[in-house]
Structure 1
Amino acid sequence: MVEIHAPGGPLPHIPDDLTLPQFILDSHHPTRPIRGEGIPWLIEDRTGRRIGVEELRARTFGLANGLSLKFNLSMFITLLIFSPNHVDYPVAIWAVHRLGGIISGANPSYTSEELAYQLISTEAKVAFVHPAILQTTLAAAHEANFPLDRIVLFDSDSGSSSSPITSAIHDLIAEGLTRPPHFRERRLDPGEGKTKIAFLSFSSGTTGRPKAVAVPHYAPIANCIQMAVHHKVNESYAPWEERRFRPGDVSIAVLPFFHIYGLIVNLHFMLLSGLSLVVVPKFHFEEMLRSIVRYRITHLFLVPPQIVLLCKHPAVKSYDLSHIRFIMAGAAPVSAELTMQLVKVLPNCAIGQGYGMTETATSVANISIHQKVGTLGSAGTLVPGVVARVVRPDGSLAKIGEQGELFVKSPANALCYLNNEEATKETFIDGWVRTGDEVIINEGAELFIIDRLKEIMKVRGYQVAPAELEGHLLSHPDVADACVVGVPDEYSGELPFAFITLHSRSAGRIAGNPKEAEQIKDSIIRHVAEHKVHYKHLAGGVHFIDVIPKNPSGKLLRRLLRDQAKQLRAKSTMTIRPRL
């Protein structure tokens, strides 16, 4: 078998001359159901405020016009969003796209060092920032030499009368709505949607520091259409009460919009499908349960740690969740055992998994429309339009049911890694994305993830590059060499765990005083915690080792140490840090 084509027949027309807001806000597509009167697009979780399409269109125009008036922005520039979910987050995205610009979403948990790296690498010209993380932004702006008058707050910084930032999104919208148009919206030529960049979304790819993935407008449009066809969104394939996605259903956005899963699947696909989206700024499990009940939420898009909480948190029994109709888990695999536990908690709910990457923007596989509970262990069925290859270690193509590395061709594939030709050549190969995941695909085009050939860890659904942590660890005065691996954890999927070779002087201190070992471990753990976002912390622990094993060319033998870490954990001989 050379190539495996997704079932589901040919895709309908995918417009290649529209920007994302033109597709979402201004056009109709055969896969799109008609949203009835009074069905909001967004609902603000805290206040219950309901926002319809006309308000979203107006606010998007107002912000685009306000940005043009204030900054006189040119096309092709990048604007960065550093904020938790907010009802104006999509407005900011679409306004920048109206202007012909590019959006790069940053993790709101980033340290100033990590944010500065993204500001510099994307050459961002304006930053939309939530007031709660303004201080981090100011520190990052100093590090990146980013002008403070180019920071725009999502809400006024009412808590600080001495704030150096005077621009806020609602002020720009208000001015933009009262002034004549100051910009001409970009209209794409036929085919240009396939190359015009919409997002620079960060991913660690297969190795190294996070890289900016260039995602064109065509990719999220195509992926929304792929998922709509896969789930038969606008088809009368079953009685109304049995259809998976219906206008008037309600989904919750606890997945962060800066992450490709939250951005495309949870935000844009839900809006295309006619669902209302409850926008939650920050995930808190019991608050999520209350929101599910308050808004009669029917659809949940989650990551495995949230599935664990649904199965095991004692508060679940206090809430009536019987109206939940659909749950999909993504970003990391969910075990068969955990899936069956969830079925017991929500017996009337359709439950399954999906698979995708930033580089495939986003979904490659989803639970089949014909299943109430997805095949245990499966990441779902390939979505229409996807072609897969499973490649053996010798480079030959595997047959159905044989194991190998997954390569994906899809209309939603991203273009490249920005300004990183070497990494691009490793991952984007003649129209295919090399995923770095070892898989099996069966006769029904169901995808089973066996292992990650690439070195990236998945911690609570987030990608963590060992090389990034190893580089940082080597700056610690006691560390001579380091190797970071992931250790399995039921809640987080994996936790970063560091093997450390100490400098001889540090080893000598321990020989003279064994208590020094714990002090050095604590110092190493703090060294990471003070400079990296929380999910990159060494929550798995630290273990000292005489020599980091390497092959003759100097490459870390990471798999060998990963096995050793599992053995250490099984024997409970390594330091396990409290869950964050």
Structure 2
Amino acid sequence: MAEIQGPGGPLPFIPDDVTVPQFLLDSQHPSRPVVTNAGNVWLIEDSTGRKVGYEEIRARTHGLANALHLRWNIGENDVVCIFSPNHMDYPAMIWAIHRLGAIVTTANPAYTAEELVHQLRTTSAKLILVHPWNVDTALAAAQAVGIPPENIALVDPLPASASKGSGFITLPELVKQGSSQPTSFTERKLKPGEAKTKLAFLSFSSGTTGLPKAVSIPHYSLVANIVQVATFLNGDTSPPESRGFRPGDVVFAALPFYHAYGLAFIMHALLFYGYTLVVVPKFNFVDMLKSIERYRINFLPTVPPMFVLLCKHPDVPKYDLSSVRSILCGAAPLFGELMEQLSKKFPKIKIGQGFGMTESFTMVAMLALDQHVGTPNSAGVLLPGITARVVRADGSLAPHGEAGQFVFKSPALALGYYNNEKATKETFVDGWLYSGDEVTINEKGELFVLDRIKELLKVRGFQVAPAEIEGYLLEHPDVADACVVSILDDYHGDLPLAFIVPSASAQERIKQDPAEADAIKAKLIKYVADGKIYYKQLTAGVVFTDVIPKNPSGKMLRRLLRDRAREMWKNGQLSSGVKPKL
């Protein structure tokens, strides 16, 4: 098979001398549609209905940038961590940091202190902007890495009942202070080509193995992907009333802004394209149904668990969802049967999948514009500007329909992994990104993701490196060896399961009392639950084994145990205990 080019090209000019906020807030581009939504509303607060438009966001961005510079001297190449759920000021926080020439690293608000420490230490963050929900975790992590308490600011004021953190300045106070003071900083104009190397984000991805790695995202990468998405959507020549994606529509923005899907696609590409975002800090399915009805939402970006609930939740018929025109599922593969179920339930809605990576920041493929319902199991067609190969294990190119590794070029590719030359060389090779995904591409140019060549799991759309959980388990005195694999579930995707070789002392206790085996398994499940974020837990349980199979060089033969686990699951020998949150 020859190289596959994304349709709809060539791309219009992508500026290489502007930062992200300069592109979004200060300039016009031929791919940007004219927006006609009432009052040019950019954001709506889900809980209150408060609306924020372009002028207010731009003013808040400037005020916050001025305050960050005045109070902490945030400037060129400093790193600021945003540790918060979705928030109305999330875009302003990002763009204020960028106005100062600084770098943003967004952290999962569900992180434990240990996980946040890894991110703060890797990025050498100077300042943390934290939501009150997360202040205790932020304090513990900041102390561990030497960030002083005065370098923490709260996104919102703490409730009066809070026992800690009452002395921290808040973001509303910072915006007010910065807006009332003369401008203390000079926003720099980039030199031609500089946007291709100047870092905008250090976004975390598990890469191939081990702890999550910081992906170095320059300003140009996000600008390029925004242009790619806009150019693709502009290719829809059908009448406006029949389009699934339209400027001026309203999008449900509950997918997390710290994640590439929410950060690059929803917050940036969709805002650029003229969407209004209904900002939701914490997802609840029934609340989503209410929001669709209340705000007449048109577009639902989803992940597989949300998709399953739309198919099966008993409350769906109770709400008016007639405003919805399109549903796009991403972050993890979706079973074709679910798409068929949902399309039968909502025959008027355009439904399909997309594909993206943090390393390509972010979208690579989307539902074809001329399809009402995507081809079962397809991740869509490539975006303009993407050049793809399907590469066999021997390095030769696979023909249409034959499986191989998905390798591609894009103007939106990251620079590599921050301060990790080895991982960068493994994934970014001569301008090509080696995705680690096993795929096929058919003669229509549709992408089908079959499996992960890399060892990553996708749990509810989140990347999980088995090696991280294995390393943590090996610290436990009852574990001699460990291998983490998964079973597959429609709702959650991969469900992590640990094969454990008990330590000698654990084996002796089990020998003396066989009931001790179940007690040790429960203890190990709790140990991981206490130490790791919710999607890294052993939701499929623990299985004891005599040995972890390995090849002569010592590398685990993970596939053997994965196949064994899935056969056990199929035969009813495992029960995950996991239920969809209805």
TM superposition score category, shorter chain reference? over 0.9
1:46 match: 47
Deviations 1:267-301 (A, max 9, x none): 11111111110000011111111111110000010
What is the Cα deviation at residue 400 of structure 1?
2.3
Query: What secondary structure sits across from 2:177 in the alignment?
Result: helix
Please state if 1:170 is matched with 2:172.
yes
> What amino acid maps onto 2:441 in structure 1?
I
Q: C-alpha separation between the residues in 1 aligned to 2:85 and 2:411?
A: 29
Q: Spell out the pairing of 1:14-163 with structure 2 (5 A cutoff).
A: 14-36=14-36, 37-159=38-160, 160=162, 162-163=164-165
Q: C-alpha separation between the residues in 2 aligned to 1:471 and 1:162?
A: 33
What is the Cα deviation at residue 48 of structure 1?
0.4
Deviations 1:444-496 (A, max 9, x none): 21101111111000000000000000000001110000000011011101111
1:226 match: 228
Q: C-alpha separation between the residues in 1 aligned to 2:183 and 2:516?
A: 66
Q: C-alpha separation between the residues in 1 aligned to 2:33 and 2:5?
A: 27
1:266 match: 266
> What amino acid maps onto 1:48 in structure 2?
G
Query: What secondary structure sits across from 2:39 in the alignment?
Result: coil
> What amino acid maps onto 1:498 in structure 2?
A
Q: C-alpha separation between the residues in 2 aligned to 1:294 and 1:145?
A: 45
Structure 1 pair 162–135 and aligned structure 2 pair: CA distance change class (3 A): closer
What is the Cα deviation at residue 164 of structure 1?
5.3
Query: What secondary structure sits across from 2:551 in the alignment?
Result: coil
Q: C-alpha separation between the residues in 2 aligned to 1:15 and 1:243?
A: 28
> What amino acid maps onto 1:327 in structure 2?
I
> What amino acid maps onto 1:393 in structure 2?
A
1:456 match: 456
What is the Cα deviation at residue 571 of structure 1?
2.3
Q: C-alpha separation between the residues in 2 aligned to 1:97 and 1:226?
A: 22
Please state if 1:440 is matched with 2:440.
yes
1:291 match: 291
1:189 match: 191
Query: What secondary structure sits across from 1:270 in the alignment?
Result: helix
1:198 match: 200
2:373 match: 373
What is the Cα deviation at residue 245 of structure 1?
2.7
Query: What secondary structure sits across from 1:95 in the alignment?
Result: helix
> What amino acid maps onto 1:86 in structure 2?
H
Q: Calculate the TM-score normalised by the size of structure 2.
A: 0.98
CA RMSD of aligned residues (A): 1.2
Contact conserved, 2:40 with 2:54, CA < 8 A, in 1?
A: no
Contact conserved, 1:481 with 1:502, CA < 8 A, in 2?
A: yes
Q: C-alpha separation between the residues in 1 aligned to 2:425 and 2:80?
A: 26
Contact conserved, 1:151 with 1:165, CA < 8 A, in 2?
A: no
Deviations 1:223-267 (A, max 9, x none): 11111111217x7x2222123332331001110000000011111
> What amino acid maps onto 1:294 in structure 2?
R
Q: C-alpha separation between the residues in 1 aligned to 2:166 and 2:362?
A: 38
Q: Which runs of 5+ in 2 are unaligned?
A: none
1:419 match: 419
What is the Cα deviation at residue 153 of structure 1?
0.5
Query: What secondary structure sits across from 2:379 in the alignment?
Result: coil
Structure 1 pair 71–197 and aligned structure 2 pair: CA distance change class (3 A): same
What is the Cα deviation at residue 507 of structure 1?
1.1
> What amino acid maps onto 2:208 in structure 1?
T
What is the Cα deviation at residue 29 of structure 1?
1.0
Q: C-alpha separation between the residues in 2 aligned to 1:82 and 1:358?
A: 18
Q: C-alpha separation between the residues in 2 aligned to 1:533 and 1:569?
A: 24
1:571 match: 571
Contact conserved, 1:213 with 1:417, CA < 8 A, in 2?
A: yes
1:430 match: 430
Q: Calculate the TM-score normalised by the size of structure 1.
A: 0.98
2:395 match: 395
Query: What secondary structure sits across from 1:188 in the alignment?
Result: coil
Contact conserved, 2:486 with 2:494, CA < 8 A, in 1?
A: yes
> What amino acid maps onto 1:537 in structure 2?
Q
Q: C-alpha separation between the residues in 1 aligned to 2:452 and 2:458?
A: 10
Q: C-alpha separation between the residues in 2 aligned to 1:283 and 1:303?
A: 12
> What amino acid maps onto 1:168 in structure 2?
T
What is the Cα deviation at residue 31 of structure 1?
1.3
Please state if 1:524 is matched with 2:538.
no
Contact conserved, 1:245 with 1:275, CA < 8 A, in 2?
A: no
1:554 match: 554
Q: C-alpha separation between the residues in 2 aligned to 1:467 and 1:188?
A: 40
> What amino acid maps onto 1:202 in structure 2?
F
Query: What secondary structure sits across from 2:137 in the alignment?
Result: helix
Contact conserved, 1:542 with 1:574, CA < 8 A, in 2?
A: no
Please state if 1:3 is matched with 2:7.
no
Contact conserved, 2:501 with 2:547, CA < 8 A, in 1?
A: yes
Contact conserved, 1:321 with 1:346, CA < 8 A, in 2?
A: no
Q: C-alpha separation between the residues in 2 aligned to 1:324 and 1:529?
A: 37
> What amino acid maps onto 2:193 in structure 1?
G
Query: What secondary structure sits across from 1:199 in the alignment?
Result: strand
Q: Which runs of 5+ in 1 are unaligned?
A: none
Q: C-alpha separation between the residues in 1 aligned to 2:551 and 2:575?
A: 27
What is the Cα deviation at residue 442 of structure 1?
1.4
Q: C-alpha separation between the residues in 2 aligned to 1:457 and 1:120?
A: 24
Q: C-alpha separation between the residues in 2 aligned to 1:176 and 1:97?
A: 16
What is the Cα deviation at residue 147 of structure 1?
1.0
What is the Cα deviation at residue 575 of structure 1?
5.0
> What amino acid maps onto 1:474 in structure 2?
L
Contact conserved, 2:84 with 2:130, CA < 8 A, in 1?
A: yes
Contact conserved, 1:304 with 1:492, CA < 8 A, in 2?
A: yes
Q: Spell out the pairing of 1:226-265 with structure 2 (5 A cutoff).
A: 226-232=228-234, 237-265=237-265
Q: C-alpha separation between the residues in 2 aligned to 1:450 and 1:143?
A: 41
After superposing on structure 2, the runs of 4+ consecutive aligned residues of structure 1 that deviate more than 3 Å are: 577-580
Deviations 1:78-125 (A, max 9, x none): 100100000001100000000001100000000010011111111000
What is the Cα deviation at residue 573 of structure 1?
2.2
Q: C-alpha separation between the residues in 1 aligned to 2:467 and 2:398?
A: 30
Q: C-alpha separation between the residues in 2 aligned to 1:287 and 1:30?
A: 37
Contact conserved, 1:78 with 1:125, CA < 8 A, in 2?
A: yes
Contact conserved, 2:61 with 2:95, CA < 8 A, in 1?
A: yes
- Matched residue pairs, number? 578
Deviations 1:368-422 (A, max 9, x none): 1111111111100010000011110111111222211011100011111001111
> What amino acid maps onto 1:64 in structure 2?
A
Query: What secondary structure sits across from 2:526 in the alignment?
Result: helix
Q: C-alpha separation between the residues in 1 aligned to 2:56 and 2:429?
A: 42
> What amino acid maps onto 2:121 in structure 1?
I
> What amino acid maps onto 1:55 in structure 2?
E
Q: C-alpha separation between the residues in 2 aligned to 1:334 and 1:35?
A: 32
> What amino acid maps onto 1:99 in structure 2?
L
What is the Cα deviation at residue 165 of structure 1?
4.0
Query: What secondary structure sits across from 2:378 in the alignment?
Result: coil
Q: C-alpha separation between the residues in 1 aligned to 2:285 and 2:221?
A: 32
Q: C-alpha separation between the residues in 2 aligned to 1:165 and 1:299?
A: 41
- Range with greater deviation from structure 2 (566-575 or 406-415): 566-575
Contact conserved, 1:148 with 1:164, CA < 8 A, in 2?
A: no
1:540 match: 540
Query: Among the aligned pairs, what percent are the same residue?
Result: 56
